[in-house]
Structure 1
Amino acid sequence: MSFWAAALFAFLALLLTSVLGGLYTIGVFRKRAPNEPPLDKGFIPWLGYGMNFKKNSTEFLKRMWKRHGDIFTVLVGGNYLHFVMDPCTYRQIMRESKEKIDFNTFGSIIVLNAFGFPTTDIHHKIVQIASNKYLSGKNLTALNQVMIEKLKTVFIQRQGSGEEKKSWQQDGLFRFSYKTIFQASFLSLFGMDPEKRVEGKENPKNYLTQCEELYEAFQKFDRLFPQMALGMLDSIGKEKSNKLKNYFWDILSIKNISQKYEVSRWVTELVQQMADVGMTEKMQTQFLLLLLWASQANTGPAAFWILAYLLKHPEALKAVKEEVEKALRETGQEVKPGGLSINVSLHTMKTPLLDSAVEETLRLTAGSIVFRSVMQDTDLKMADGKEYTLRKGDRLLLFPFVALHTNPEIYSDPHTFKYDRFLNPDGTKKEFYKNGKKLKYYTLPFGGGTTMCPGRFFAVNEMKMFVIMMLTCFEMELVNAEEELPPVNESRYGLGIAQPEPCWIRPWPI
């Protein structure tokens, strides 16, 4: 064989190897192995069902569920995703060891893409310990009291003074709810600037003006977040996100935070613990932006939805308002015009109807995906007794919104808001079943297992405090009472609470 013939043969062999290697990498040759879930790769190499999943994830999963059953594997953008659609199996998955099925691997990628720093198991442990300490029990009660005072401050400024106090103020319901929660929560968690005081006294207007600017910037940041988290921003998006990050990093710099007063103990301890394990001040500041996003991105939208559902269902609004007023009277308080003199003590107030309305709201609007990485070949036993092998390197996903929250086998009229759905006629908590089996998890708005959102109790309390204050401080009406509730932005499914298109209210100060 001549040199050129040998060279040509070697080149063709290398080309063939490269092509075959590339085809293998993008999944062309992957076959369903014995005991593995049904495999559906679609018709487009590597991309698979990526476009279908991105366009409408809920409808796509319903089709796959109907086609393949309670567990299936689909190819999405080069990744093999196992979806488990039987909520009776969720508990088994939540209890699986992290050596087999791990959340932190995927979570670290999201944090790195969006906030710019790598996290470790140590960081996750610090957040868990500090959150358990300060976002539950007596410390949570203390934080609730701070939050209610900040809500009062926001409402006082919104009510205005003089002639402004008794006039209709039209506002977008989403913006009204989200901005109110954001302003009060930011001041509760991240404190106030000394320079915003006037002659040594607090000037709420100055604080809230700054918070309003932060809110507007946060909205821009949050709109970019889905693409940012997945590393899919184009050059223009990257430029915008970097500009916004620099803005927040300046506001949340360790130097600035250290000079603020009334910073929550949860934030100060987290910062100190991160410093103790070697985080630089830059990384600590990046971490504070993560805390800001995690504490604000879902609570404001959730506050919007519960207010919207109550306004659209007058019987629910009336029942919850009567319950709140009764609970206040039982704690020795009277709702007077203005309502801002009340002391909302959630640990002493019994509000089962409001609790049920909050849970119903989260059931209908929480679109979080529970995500796990398969760290080694793992056998998963389903609730029906069948066993499947999950392949190392794949992903395991639960989408409770489809498989659990809106499952007609579990909830009657699953897309209808029923404020008392979670209560029995005697006022006790209702239990839920599927195929005759009692469900351990009948809603999962905050994820599940050891990686469940550590701020969930504070988030729910924020919603309840917001509703209580709205019911005692304002009479409200929708500008267009006949209009249906707005559709949701489906691009945010997987990241938490759905966000709506605009609708309007007129809040009337009592």
Structure 2
Amino acid sequence: MKLPDGPKTSPRLLNRQFKTDPLGFMDAMSDRYGDIFTIMAGSTPLVIVSNPQGIKQIFTSAKEIKASGKLNQGGAALVGNNGLLMLDGLRHKHRRQLLMPPMHGTRVQLYGQRICQVTEKIINDLARGQAFVAYPTVQKITLEVILQALFGLSEGERYEQFRQLLSNLLSFSRSRWLGLSLSYPFLQKDLGRWTPWGYWLDLQQQFDKLLYAEIAQRRSQVDPTRTDVLSELLFARDETGQPMTDEDIRDLFPSLLLGGQDASATAITWSLYWIHRSKDVRDRLLAELDTLGQSADPMAIAALPYLSAVCHEALRIYPTQVVTFPRLVEAPIEVMGYELSPDTVTRGCIYLTHQREDLYPQPKEFKPERFLERQYSPYEFLPFGGGARRCPGEVLALFEMKLVLATILCRYQLALAHEKRVEKPKAIGVNYPPASGLKMILLGERPRSTKPQQFVANSA
């Protein structure tokens, strides 16, 4: 077996370096070893690839390289035993297909008006002329969008219960205390809700109770007009043709919740930073938005080329995932001139691919126009992963990102609280929002004469 070169440092030290500064660690590995290198995880070789041709081979060599769910078993306590991350083969393919309709096509269009209304409501609550922290503010928006898209809830007692519980659950899922418990199994003891693991189990039990109550009510009061993910799953059949159990439905939600709030909030927050850091970008984007007039349809907004380029460039610099889903070599295969044997694990590095000079000249610079000048392949630009494990919520996430940004920019005037500060990413869970949370100032409303009066949901 001829593996790519890599560091000879102990796995424990490498792991500590990665956890301290994940992106800096990847940059250092790339500078020293190039676009393919090996890190030993105990006795298992982990091959990291950032070359687009190598990534393409990994994604398309399905017979030799499997996207095995067993590689994610360590996260079962976080996302459930039967979530998409844990499933393989037919079960994974079928359940992924069940999730696609509510988060694609005309279904997504129906969320447009709600996204704009939620954004306006939350920004309106901010004090004029005072600083606020953008990341947690945007998280409030993305949480409400989740409640609408995943559960079909926008008001009422159960909506309020879900909103509060999910806020607590998602917040604690990112905490250092839970991270320690997940890293060290001996800490996973239920000693009551005043201990980290006990508190986590209590939150999960509350979520289960609330979700199962909602499922029971929906099953007894069938409403075929509902378009949310939960309603779609209630009457779906599993891969054997049997109705989905309540437990199977429950286990599909944690990964959607974690990705739906944090990943989207991170991408939107970075977009706000880059837009307000560059006057030229902001002016060009506002000019494009103003071409839609005073009554802008969400689908027309989503189709704007420069807005799309801004979102793509923000996702390029700090993608919502640093690496792709791990894949397991099951039959000998040659990748980029190296021989990978069975039991080797391989991952594409999204972050390093997006930093390649040959693809993205001056990669550290925010240049949305590069996405207007060139169309990148799914192996060159892959912020949501790729292959069979590509994020199922990609379409909804991009749609939400564009509408939130358009609503804020069209209706309000914002500024960075610290214009000269260069924001750096900080690892929170698997996402990398600005370390400061991004302090901004709401200056006031944008002059009425240059802003759309109302976004109207597409009637299609």
**Shorter-chain-normalised TM-score: which range?**
0.7 to 0.9
The structure-2 alpha-carbon separation of the partners of 1:280 and 1:194, relative to structure 1 and needing over 3 Å to count, comes to same
The structure-2 alpha-carbon separation of the partners of 1:317 and 1:42, relative to structure 1 and needing over 3 Å to count, comes to same
Q: Which of 329, 333, 350 is equivalent to 1:379?
A: 333
- Cα distance between partner residues in 1 of 2:7 and 2:370: 39
Aligned twin of 2:452: none
Aligned twin of 1:500: 435
Aligned twin of 2:44: 79
Question: Structure 1, residues 182-232: CA drift from partner, whole Å, max 9, x if none?
Answer: 223323331237754xxxxxxxxx957963563244222233676676666
Determine if the alignment matches structure 1 residue 490 to structure 2 residue 456. no
Instruction: Name the % identity.
Output: 18
- Cα distance between partner residues in 2 of 1:233 and 1:186: 34
Aligned twin of 2:281: 316
Question: Structure 1, residues 158-189: CA drift from partner, whole Å, max 9, x if none?
Answer: 526xxx9x944542111122212222332333
Question: Structure 1, residues 227-283: CA drift from partner, whole Å, max 9, x if none?
Answer: 676666834542332233223323323535745988534332234336764654244
The structure-2 alpha-carbon separation of the partners of 1:171 and 1:248, relative to structure 1 and needing over 3 Å to count, comes to farther
Aligned twin of 1:268: 231
Aligned twin of 2:305: 352
Aligned twin of 2:361: 412
* 5+ residue gaps, structure 1: 1-32, 197-205, 335-341, 425-429, 433-438
One-letter amino acid of the structure 1 residue matched with residue 230 of structure 2:
V
The structure-2 alpha-carbon separation of the partners of 1:227 and 1:463, relative to structure 1 and needing over 3 Å to count, comes to farther
Q: Which of 364, 370, 381 is equivalent to 1:421?
A: 370
Aligned twin of 2:458: none
> Contact conserved, 2:139 with 2:262, CA < 8 A, in 1?
no
- Cα distance between partner residues in 1 of 2:360 and 2:115: 37
- Cα distance between partner residues in 1 of 2:383 and 2:184: 25
Aligned twin of 2:455: none
One-letter amino acid of the structure 2 residue matched with residue 71 of structure 1:
I
- More relative contact order in 1 or in 2 (CA 8 Å, sep 6+)? 2
Please show how residues 462-477 of structure 1 align to structure 2 within 5 Å.
462-477=400-415
Aligned twin of 1:177: 138
Please show how residues 97-112 of structure 1 align to structure 2 within 5 Å.
97=62, 99-106=63-70, 108-109=72-73, 111-112=75-76
Secondary structure of residue in 2 paired with 1:112: helix
Aligned twin of 1:292: 257
Measured on the aligned residues, the alpha-carbon RMSD in Å equals: 3.3
- Cα distance between partner residues in 1 of 2:61 and 2:163: 42
The structure-2 alpha-carbon separation of the partners of 1:269 and 1:254, relative to structure 1 and needing over 3 Å to count, comes to farther
Please state how far the C-alpha of 1:95 moved relative to its aligned partner: 0.7
Task: Output the TM-score relative to the length of structure 1.
Answer: 0.74
> Contact conserved, 1:115 with 1:290, CA < 8 A, in 2?
yes
Please state how far the C-alpha of 1:467 moved relative to its aligned partner: 0.7
One-letter amino acid of the structure 2 residue matched with residue 172 of structure 1:
V
* 5+ residue gaps, structure 2: 189-194, 447-460
- Cα distance between partner residues in 2 of 1:75 and 1:226: 22
Question: Structure 1, residues 445-491: CA drift from partner, whole Å, max 9, x if none?
Answer: 10011221111111001000001111122111222323332x22236
Determine if the alignment matches structure 1 residue 127 to structure 2 residue 73. no
Higher alpha-carbon Rg? 1
Task: Output the TM-score relative to the length of structure 2.
Answer: 0.81
Determine if the alignment matches structure 1 residue 222 to structure 2 residue 174. yes
Secondary structure of residue in 1 paired with 2:252: helix
> Contact conserved, 2:325 with 2:389, CA < 8 A, in 1?
no
Q: Which of 379, 389, 392 is equivalent to 2:342?
A: 392
Aligned twin of 1:202: none
One-letter amino acid of the structure 2 residue matched with residue 214 of structure 1:
L
